[in-house]
């Protein structure tokens, strides 16, 4: 449900659409231009991995904590990945304190899907004693400043934090897991990137700003793996897309994903052979 404070005057939506008719946007970007992306890694020493992702004025922080736990019964030989995103009131006057709402849950699950489907983290390498002890990766994401496109910002922060995570090495002695002082990165296979589009009236723009999000009728988030495969899709909001709009977004989104990926930390190499 749209909260009342999120309603913008129709006139503002009309002016955004009038600009788009000329191929222009409020902040001077072209419809397919992404804002500048900035990633700061290892922002939090206490976390095993962390990153701040900025897209224009949008800012999100993600931290990775690793702990030993039990596997899910249906995947006894795999580590566990838990992604949680929260839109805390610090980030916007429209966010309220309280338990995660449906927007928080949707973002968490879309980010989770992009990471999981792409098999970014090779969870099969994170079972220490299969069926008993596995690594549990908690990725917690907090919005810090909301100027639109939190989906992509959360994805960037989460993947950057995972790419820079250092976890203790382990040895198994008498069926007991011992954590060593020495650290190693996570086994990473690919770096998924999401690209979000907004449909405003009959126009499509990439990387919507907050003002554009207030005016958007529908949202489409596409996540791509390193080789250009589609690993997650999410349409949101009570609008619709035509077939052609989706195919166009796919073409443009895949190109943009390659540019954005250049800002991500590299895939850690030392993990590939354990």
Partner 1 sequence: MKSDQAIKLLNDEGLRLDGRRLDELRPLKIEVGVLKNADGSAYIEHGKNKIIVAVYGPREVHPKHLTLPDRAIVRVRYHMAPFSVPERKSPAPSRREIELSKVIREALEPAILVEKFPRTAIDVFIEVLQADGGTRCASITAAAVALADAGIPMKDLVAAVAVGKINGKIALDLNHLEDQYGEGDMPVAMMPGLKTITLLQADGIFSKEEFKQALDLAISGIQVIYRKQREALKKKYEKMIRTVTGGGS
CB 173 within 8 A of CB 166: no
Among 6, 38, 57, 72, binds partner 1 (CB under 8 A): 72
| Cα 199 from Cα 133, distance rounded (Å) | 46
Structure tokens at 97: 């304190």
Q: Tell me, rounded to whole angstroms, the distance of Cα 226 from its chain centroid.
A: 15
Instruction: Work out whether 4 is an interface residue with partner 1 (CB under 8 A).
Output: yes
| Cα 150 from Cα 242, distance rounded (Å) | 24
Among 5, 74, 182, 274, binds partner 1 (CB under 8 A): 74
Q: Which residues contact 98 (CB under 8 A, 6 or more apart)?
A: none
Pick between residue 9 and residue 28 the one whose CB is nearest to partner 1. 9
Pick between residue 201 and residue 239 the one whose CB is nearest to partner 1. 239
C-beta atoms surrounding 6 within 10 Å:
11
DSSP 72: P
Instruction: Work out whether 136 is an interface residue with partner 1 (CB under 8 A).
Output: no
Instruction: Work out whether 98 is an interface residue with partner 1 (CB under 8 A).
Output: no
Nearest distance from C-beta of residue 166 to partner 1, angstroms: 27
Applying CB under 8 A, the span of 16-24, 42-50, 68-76, 174-182 interacting with partner 1 comes to 68-76
Place of tokens 């838990």: 82
DSSP 9: -
Instruction: Work out whether 122 is an interface residue with partner 1 (CB under 8 A).
Output: no
Query: Count residues contacting partner 1 (CB under 8 A)?
Result: 38
Nearest distance from C-beta of residue 15 to partner 1, angstroms: 19
Pick between residue 39 and residue 193 the one whose CB is nearest to partner 1. 193
Among 229, 255, 259, 272, binds partner 1 (CB under 8 A): 229
Instruction: Work out whether 246 is an interface residue with partner 1 (CB under 8 A).
Output: yes
CB 113 within 8 A of CB 81: no
User: What's the full length of the chain, in residues?
Assistant: 274
Among 5, 9, 45, 102, binds partner 1 (CB under 8 A): 102
- Using alpha carbons only, how large is the chain's radius of gyration in Å? 20
Pick between residue 67 and residue 242 the one whose CB is nearest to partner 1. 242
Pick between residue 118 and residue 149 the one whose CB is nearest to partner 1. 118
CB 58 within 8 A of CB 27: no
Instruction: Work out whether 109 is an interface residue with partner 1 (CB under 8 A).
Output: yes
Among 28, 93, 98, 238, binds partner 1 (CB under 8 A): 238
Instruction: Work out whether 125 is an interface residue with partner 1 (CB under 8 A).
Output: no
Instruction: Work out whether 40 is an interface residue with partner 1 (CB under 8 A).
Output: no
If we measure between CA atoms, which residue out of 206, 200, 198, 210 comes closest to residue 15?
200
Structure tokens at 149: 């496109």
Residue 140 exposure: Cα atoms within 13 Å on the Cβ side: 10
Q: Residues interacting with partner 1, by CB under 8 A?
A: 1-2, 4, 72, 74-75, 102, 105-106, 108-109, 113, 116-119, 220, 225, 228-243, 246-247, 250, 254
């Amino acid at each position: 449900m749209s909260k009342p404070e999120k309603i913008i005057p129709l006139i503002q939506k009309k002016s955004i659409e009038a600009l788009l008719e000329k191929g222009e946007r409020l902040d001077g970007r072209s419809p397919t231009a992404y804002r500048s992306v900035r990633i700061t890694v290892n922002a939090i020493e206490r976390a095993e991995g962390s990153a701040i992702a900025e897209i224009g004025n949008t800012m999100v922080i993600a931290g990775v904590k690793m702990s030993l736990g039990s596997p899910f019964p249906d995947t006894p030989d795999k580590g566990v990945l838990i992604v949680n995103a929260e839109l805390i009131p610090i980030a916007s006057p429209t966010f309220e304190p309280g338990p995660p709402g449906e927007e928080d849950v949707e973002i968490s699950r879309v980010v989770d899907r992009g990471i999981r489907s792409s098999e970014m983290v090779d969870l099969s390498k994170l079972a220490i004693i299969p069926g008993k002890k596995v690594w549990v990766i908690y990725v917690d994401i907090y919005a810090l400043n909301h100027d639109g496109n939190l989906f992509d910002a959360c994805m960037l922060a989460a993947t950057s934090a995972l790419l820079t995570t250092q976890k203790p090495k382990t040895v198994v002695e008498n069926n007991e897991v011992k954590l060593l002082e020495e650290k190693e990165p996570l086994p990473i296979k690919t770096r998924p990137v999401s690209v979000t589009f907004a449909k405003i009236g009959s126009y499509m723009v990439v990387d919507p700003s907050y003002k554009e999000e207030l005016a958007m009728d529908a949202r489409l988030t596409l996540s791509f793996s390193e080789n250009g495969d589609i690993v997650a899709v999410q349409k949101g909001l009570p609008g619709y897309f035509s077939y052609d709009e989706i195919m166009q977004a796919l073409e443009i989104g895949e190109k943009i994903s390659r540019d954005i990926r250049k800002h991500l930390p590299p895939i850690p190499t030392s993990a590939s052979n354990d």
